[in-house]
């Protein structure tokens, strides 16, 4: 029975926000640097998915690419993420 509650999974890539400006400890994650999707674009995609009744939304080509590659090449993505992490720690 429906309780009138909708759930939507939003898989986001880097999004423009003040989150990293308010970081108390640590450094900005390397994956979040570079071109970010505007917050308005991200919010519009999430709202459109909710209105369509879609169970999930992946706004932006970077997030879509990451999800697609991690689905078919999980070992490669894991290697790449670990490699990028090592590089960011060395600098």
Distance CA 76, CA 55 (A): 27
Q: Return the SS3 of 27.
A: coil
Question: What are the residue ranges spanned by the domains of the chain?
Answer: 9-90
pTM of the model: 0.70
What tokens were used for 72?
């078919």
Residues found in the chain? 91
Angle at CA of residue 74, ends 70 and 75, nearest 5°: 145
pLDDT digit of tens for each residue in the chain (91 aa)? 578 887 889 998 888 888 767 777 777 666 666 688 899 999 999 999 999 989 999 998 888 998 999 999 999 988 988 888 788 777 6
């Amino acid at each position: 029975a429906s309780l009138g509650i909708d759930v939507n999974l939003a898989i986001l890539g880097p999004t423009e926000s003040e989150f990293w400006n308010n970081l108390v400890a640590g450094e900005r994650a390397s994956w979040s640097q570079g071109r970010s999707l505007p917050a308005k674009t991200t919010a519009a995609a999430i709202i459109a998915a909710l209105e369509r009744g879609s169970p999930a939304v992946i706004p932006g080509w970077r997030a879509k690419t990451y999800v697609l590659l991690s689905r078919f090449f999980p070992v490669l993505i894991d290697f790449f993420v670990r490699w990028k992490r090592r590089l960011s720690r060395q600098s």
